[in-house]
Amino acid sequence: MIKALKKTALVSTLTLSSRLLGLIRDTLIAIYFGVSSQSDAFFIAFRPFDLARKLFSEGILNISFIPIFSKTLVNEGKAKAASLFFSFFCFLTLAGTLIMLFGIFFAPVVIKIIAPGFIEYSYKLQLTAVLFKIMLPYLWLILMSSLCMGVLNSFGNFGIPAVAPVVFNLVVILFTIMVTTCFKTPVMGLALGVTIGGVLQLALQIPFMIRFGILKISFFSFFHPGVIKVLKIMIPSMIGAASYQINIMAASFFASKLESGSVSYLYYADRLVQFPLALFAVSAAMVLLPQLSKKAVLGEMDEIAGLFSNAVKAVFFVTIPAMAGLMALDEQIVSLLFGHGAFTESAIHQTSDCLFFLSFGLWAFTGGRLFVTLYYSLSNVKIPFYSGLFTIGLNLIFCLLFIDSLGLKGLVLSVSLSSAIGFVILLINIPGAVNIAKFEIIVSACRSLFLSAIMFFIVQKAAGFIPVSDINKFWYGAGVIGCIGFGIGFYFIVNFLISSPELKILKQGMTKSSHDNS
């Protein structure tokens, strides 16, 4: 458990850097483009690629590929594992090339499907199709980058794959500031930055793949039998592991039919929720998956149960108060990060409403991400698949029910409610071979929820003393940061006073890490 916490801390630190740069990137996009036809066009065009990135970089490829790659590495050696890698590389390259060719010739058709509301705006539809074509190479790049990330994680290298998104965000930031002004339609420079960022993100990992001896070309390994096993898991895994991302894309589909800017409001709210989700849940899942997979191969079920139970309690311990903080300071956070330049007061209110209702489901997004990791480390595909399928179907029903009465808020509420139900399905169907401490997890989560609810009201009350942003931006920012710090301090001090077991787990991991580094 200590080793897992150390690696999670490393990945979380690097992920934090990436997410901070991501926030800076999105803030600059908000300043330069605000909520406009250009921003809506970019976010819709970018959504399929962002979905692919989250599917493969943060979930699906690791869930389907890592267990089989790890098993091959342990049982058959590095040469066979390298053969599996090359065979899967060939398959992804072929699939990616076919998809890109389809996208080049049928981009307008694709946009009409994912954003039917854009049909009424010919300029927006055409611009979205152009941006989509510019970013098409990013699809293959993210597939290859994700494959390399999975291999490096299997060898215990979590640092380089976690640094790669930092490089991507830096490139997009530079293009936003320096290149967009060179285009007659500035947002095209932003789309180009996405593609160039993907190139450098992949290039960073290549030397380390060579160092581990995996990046070997073998003309006799085009059809490794392990690829068939990966594909059998991958297709249903796309439903099980990515229901949240698919539901967000479905919400964007409906949002395109609402007033102009709705797609952008949803994107910015999702980006803020993604910050704690990636920082805690995704980082923990990336570290847990190869470890759980190897223990499953060795039949160490008791160790899997202990490791996973403690990891879930620790992640909920920090995610639930993050959820409460986002809900308490929704408008203040949006105003601080995005309320500049072309981002209007109306855009701030609309985005903060989305953030409030989307944050409501953060605990479920987090829990689902971790439990899916457990299921797939045990090679259990069916339960996450059916749970994800049910969650997606439920989200579509909720969207249809809520869109007329609640508008955009109803769409994000649909995502949160469906995810909560999906998480419950995963929780109650854990395989009997793994004795997860369900009761302890529930008690731990309820304790965090109770303290976070108190923190919510205290922080919301304190937010009333923040100076108006129009008068002094510096003091407004200091007030928001002060409220966040006050909420964090209150939560951890109370947990310290009641001797919270989760706090002890985190403290034990940090203490051990500092001893090992001294």
**pLDDT the model gives residue 58:** 58
**Averaged pLDDT for residues 335-340:** 86
Compute the distance between CA of residue 282 and CA of residue 65 in angstroms, rounded to an integer. 17
Q: Is the pLDDT of residue 239 over 90?
A: no
**pLDDT the model gives residue 517:** 42
Task: Determine the Cα angle at 204 with ends 15 and 182, to 5°.
Answer: 90
Side-chain half-sphere exposure of 404, counting CA atoms within 13 A: 3
Q: Are 378 and 293 in contact (CB under 8 A)?
A: no
**pLDDT the model gives residue 8:** 58
pLDDT tier, 513 (very low <50, low <70, confident <90, very high otherwise): very low
Structure tokens at 125: 């539809």
- The secondary structure of residue 471, as a DSSP letter, is T
Compute the distance between CA of residue 305 and CA of residue 174 in angstroms, rounded to an integer. 45
Compute the distance between CA of residue 384 and CA of residue 376 in angstroms, rounded to an integer. 8
pLDDT over 90, % of the chain? 33
Q: Is the pLDDT of residue 16 over 80?
A: no
**pLDDT the model gives residue 349:** 92
Within 360-407, residue ranges assigned H as helices are 362-377, 382-406
**pLDDT the model gives residue 484:** 93
**pLDDT the model gives residue 116:** 82
**Averaged pLDDT for residues 397-425:** 93
**pLDDT the model gives residue 232:** 79
* Residues 6 or more apart in contact with residue 105 via CB below 8 angstroms: none
The residue to which tokens 């330049």 are assigned: 341
Structure tokens at 13: 């630190």
**pLDDT the model gives residue 411:** 94
Short-list 138, 102, 105, 113, CA closest to 44: 113
Highest mean pLDDT range out of 76-85, 240-249, 300-309, 414-423? 414-423
Helix, strand, coil in percent for the chain, rounding step 5: 85, 0, 15
Q: Is the C-alpha dihedral spanning 404, 410, 415, 421 positive or negative?
A: negative
Between the alpha carbon of residue 412 and those of residues 237, 254, 345, the distances in Å are: 23, 11, 20
Q: Is the pLDDT of residue 212 over 90?
A: no
Between the alpha carbon of residue 118 and those of residues 45, 107, 115, the distances in Å are: 12, 13, 6
Compute the distance between CA of residue 254 and CA of residue 404 in angstroms, rounded to an integer. 11
Compute the distance between CA of residue 75 and CA of residue 405 in angstroms, rounded to an integer. 57
Structure tokens at 380: 């259990």
Predicted structure pTM score? 0.79
- The secondary structure of residue 467, as a DSSP letter, is P
Short-list 114, 139, 162, 169, CA closest to 56: 139
Q: Are 144 and 91 in contact (CB under 8 A)?
A: no
Compute the distance between CA of residue 270 and CA of residue 262 in angstroms, rounded to an integer. 12
Is residue 360 classed exposed, middle or buried when 0-12, 13-18 and 19+ CB atoms within 10 A define those classes? buried
- Tell me the per-residue pLDDT of 59-88, one tens digit each, with 9 for 90 and over: 566 667 777 887 788 788 778 888 888 888
The widest CA-to-CA distance across the chain, in whole angstroms, is 69
**pLDDT the model gives residue 37:** 82
Does 322 or 74 have the greater pLDDT score?
322
Mean pLDDT of the chain: 84
If you write DSSP's letter for every residue of 205-264 in order, what string do you get? HHHHHHHTT-----TT-TT-HHHHHHHHHHHHHHHHH-HHHHHHHHHHHHHTTSSTTHHH
Task: Determine the Cα angle at 345 with ends 339 and 349, to 5°.
Answer: 95
One-letter amino acid identity for 175? F
Does 28 or 289 have the greater pLDDT score?
28
Short-list 431, 38, 417, CA closest to 243: 417
For the ranges 284-298, 383-397, 411-425, the lowest mean pLDDT is seen at 284-298
**pLDDT the model gives residue 35:** 79
In the chain, what are the domain boundaries? 2-517
Q: Are 253 and 114 in contact (CB under 8 A)?
A: yes
**pLDDT the model gives residue 5:** 52
Does 59 or 149 have the greater pLDDT score?
149
Compute the distance between CA of residue 134 and CA of residue 194 in angstroms, rounded to an integer. 9
Reduced to 3 states (helix: H, G, I; strand: E, B; else coil), residue 504 is helix
Short-list 149, 140, 141, CA closest to 95: 140
**pLDDT the model gives residue 134:** 95
**pLDDT the model gives residue 512:** 47
Sort residue 52 into left (φ over 0), alpha (ψ -120 to 50) or beta. alpha
**Averaged pLDDT for residues 349-355:** 93
Q: To 10 degrees, what angle do helices 262-276 and 362-377 make? A: 60
Q: How many helices (H) and strands (E) does the chain have?
A: 21, 0
Compute the distance between CA of residue 235 and CA of residue 279 in angstroms, rounded to an integer. 26
The Cβ of residue 58 has, within 10 Å, a number of other Cβ atoms equal to 26
Between the alpha carbon of residue 371 and those of residues 365, 384, 424, the distances in Å are: 10, 9, 10
Q: Is the pLDDT of residue 364 over 50?
A: yes
pLDDT tier, 419 (very low <50, low <70, confident <90, very high otherwise): very high
**Averaged pLDDT for residues 161-170:** 87
**pLDDT the model gives residue 171:** 95
Q: To 10 degrees, what angle do helices 60-76 and 37-57 make? A: 20
**Averaged pLDDT for residues 264-272:** 90
**pLDDT the model gives residue 277:** 82
